[in-house]
Amino acid sequence: MLERVLNQVRDMSRRAVVSPVTFSLLFAFALAAAIVAVTGGDPLAAGGEMFTGAVTGSGLRNTLGRSVPIIGMALAVSIAFRSGIINLGGEGQMVIGGLAGTIVAIYVPGPGYVIVPLAMLAGAVVGAVWGLLPAYGQTWLRLPILITSLLLNYVARAITGYLVRFQLLDDAVTLTSTRQVPETARMPKMPIFGGVSLSLILVIVLVALLWMVYTRSVAGYESQMTGFNMRSARYGGIDVEQRTVQVMVVAGAIGGLIGTHLIIGEALRFIDGELVLAGFAWTGLLVSLLAVNRPIPIFITGMFFSALQIGGLAMQRNAGVSWRLSQVLQAVVIVAVACRLAIRRGERPSTEVSDAESAAVGEV
Amino acid sequence: MFEQIFDAALFDSATRAMIPILLAALGGMICERAGVFQIALEGIMLAGAFAAVAGSYLAISWTLGVVFGIAAGMLISLALAYGCVTRRGDPIVLGIALNLLAMGLTGFLLPQLFDVRGVFQHPRIDGLDRIAIPILSDIPWIGPVLFDNTILTYVALLLVPALWVFLFRTPVGLRLRGVGERPLAAETLGVSPTVYKYGAVLASGALAGLAGAQLSLGNVVQFAENMSSGRGWVAVVAVMLGRAHPVGVLAAAALFALAEALGFRFQGNGLPVQITDALPFVVTLLALIIARKRFARLLDLTTAA
């Protein structure tokens, strides 16, 4: 019995050591260290600050807090990727849903236990509608979602910018911003680690829910089949068009939820352009790619990327190295994984873990 | 009203808006012809813009700036070529990741190297001068619009016929198209797809790098974070709309540039900047809808069929 467990552990650790993901992480860290050294920093000090900053003091709380949008946006994009739909519109869905949720939180009176869920619902609905546009673009007009969803990000930015500047502006501050979300309409914080947003529970529930859908339900199976091969899925009786629309609705809704959370749970004001700056949708996309669109690995990877960013901010404060290094690190990991793990298009992913990984990373 | 909007100044600003999109789109076109889906243009353009400013600042010379811009573009495209040609990785995943890499790297290097945030301006940065071509620039109306511009403007405009000749009238161009359309046949005839694809991707990197240089040394003389602001994606659409044909690509780039210039103009007439900024993207989306029958191949490519 013990021997079997030991064997399993050994087997897993061996696989982890030779795993291309491990290699890619090492490669990315080495490259980042080299970049810091070349630009006149001290890579060891920077790395130390990054680590301690992510897990000590308020770092742990901040890591957990930042993981909410990262994991959330990763889940949103993973739903689409699993079905072979390349939704690059997470940002727009998040921003426009976020503004809708903010408007409800600011202008609808009522007790918090009504307004907070109502704001989240509004964010989800508007995010879903924004996701519907490229979905119908593909099913009705045969326009690739990859392109339309991306272009719509800029349109969403413009619309929210216009609304904030000309309809919802708070004259009391110099920012181009809405009023502050009233205290009653804010997302509550849980009394752990010095205050973590309740939205973390929402994200955990989403992870569990998606895991169940993927492993236990027909819808999950069908969406994965569509991702593997759209033509054969259609041949097998799956309504691919309908599936595309459903997937984009769910992805957009999650984006809208996260956008709303970022305002009523974190920023408390919708400042024009601010929601885009941290690049959560894009970080989430990288997380989903690295985790091969599986919910539980997304949770773990999302935590890790969140820690990288929080650690990066600490590094910027204490070691004078810009936190954007974290973004470089994350992108390099994906480039390395995509380079090392390529499988030719059209080849069937086998059931073995490492192969399944490579297949999914290799072809979204 | 009509004459007030469509004057020479509008076309002048449209030309300026067009050149970065055109250069990047011509690069994307070469890749498309070689059968490589190139969506890293946005990131390459951004990296090129940064490197051009950095080079110009270091040497106080726009020449070195342009060289730096090209080099940075080729470096990123080398990663793309290695990933999707040698390692047979997914060009979409690689393209997205490289775009984010360029965004992160320029955002990182800006405070690290120049100790500024957001925007980098400096008297040492040597911008591209407008060079008036004798005689031609004296033509009323057209002269100042087309023949009183930066050197990269002329390069971009000359590349349109040059690439047409290259693609459709030279053996190398024929082989490049062969690699894209019938890779197996090309290989059977002894044409190495690897070599041609590498060449195409590197060329697109150089061109998108030039696009960045025009952006940061020609249109303005500064680097601002994320200053490519979607132009690389518009270039991707221009390749699609122009059916990867030099003249088509030029027309598409001109259309988007006109939308951008009109946006500026309406801004001057009191329309909010938030709305005018969206104009090129709205026009791009509308153009996609109008010309939608053309994208069957891309749709197949991007839906894992």
Domains of chain B: 2-302 (1.10.3470)
User: Does A363 sit within 8 Å of B304, measured CB to CB?
Assistant: yes
In angstroms, the CA B126 to CA B46 distance is 18
Q: Which residues of B touch A339 (CB under 8 A)?
A: 79, 82-83, 87, 89, 94
Confidence of residue A51 (pLDDT cuts 50, 70, 90): very high
Q: Testing the interface with B: which of A24, A42, A82, A86 to mutate, by most B Cβ within 10 A?
A: A86
Backbone angles phi, psi at A10, to 5 degrees: -60, -45
**B-chain residues within 8 Å CB-CB of A39?**
109, 112-113
At B18 the pLDDT is 96
Q: Is the pLDDT of residue A359 over 60?
A: no
| ipTM confidence | 0.90
Residue B60 region by backbone torsions, left for phi larger than 0, else alpha for psi between -120 and 50, else beta = left
Average of per-residue pLDDT across B11-16 = 90
DSSP A238-278: --HHHHHHHHHHHHHHHHHHHHHHIIIIIISS-BTTHHHHT
B82 closest CB neighbour out of A227, A289, A339? A339
Between residues A69 and B296, the one the model is more confident about: A69
Whether A331 and B93 lie within 8 Å, measured CB to CB: no
Q: What residues of chain A lie within 8 A of the CB of B77, using their CB?
A: none
Contact call for B83 and A339, based on CB within 8 A: yes
- Mean pLDDT is lowest, of A267-271, B7-11, B220-224, for B7-11
Handedness of CA A46, A15, A211, A348 (dihedral sign): positive
What's the CA gap between A18 and A24, in Å, rounded? 11
Scanning A177-216 for CB atoms below 8 A from B yields none
Contact B90 A342 (CB under 8 A): yes
Tell me how far apart the alpha carbons of residues B99 and A309 are, in angstroms, rounded to a whole number. 18
Disruptive mutation site among B90, B99, B275, B298 for chain A (greatest number of A CBs within 10 Å): B90
E strands within B123-181? 131-132, 148-149
Spans of all domains in chain A: 61-277
Amino acid at position B230, single letter? G
Nearest CA in chain B to A287: B97
Between B142 and A247, the more confident residue is A247
**pLDDT confidence of residue A345:** 39
C-beta atoms surrounding A284 within 10 Å: 29
- Tell me what percent of chain A is helix, strand and coil, each rounded to the nearest 5: 75, 0, 25
Instruction: For B157-192, write each residue's pLDDT tens digit.
Output: 999 999 999 999 999 999 999 999 998 889 888 889
Give chain B positions within 8 Å (CB) of A289.
Answer: 93, 97
Answer whether residue A225 shows pLDDT above 80: no
pTM: 0.90
Please answer yes or no on whether B93 and A228 come within 8 Å at the CB atom: no
Number of inter-chain CB pairs under 8 A, A vs B: 176
- To the nearest whole angstrom, how far is the Cα of A166 from the nearest Cα of chain B? 9
Tally of CB atoms within 10 A around B148: 17
pLDDT of residue B158: 96
| Residue whose pair of structure tokens reads 């090492």 in the numeric block | A26
Give chain A's mean pLDDT: 87
| Predicted confidence band of residue A349 (pLDDT cuts 50, 70, 90) | very low
A133: left (phi over 0), alpha (psi -120 to 50) or beta: alpha
A245-270 pLDDT tens trace? 999 999 999 999 999 999 999 999 99
Contact at CB, B302 and A86, closer than 8 angstroms: yes
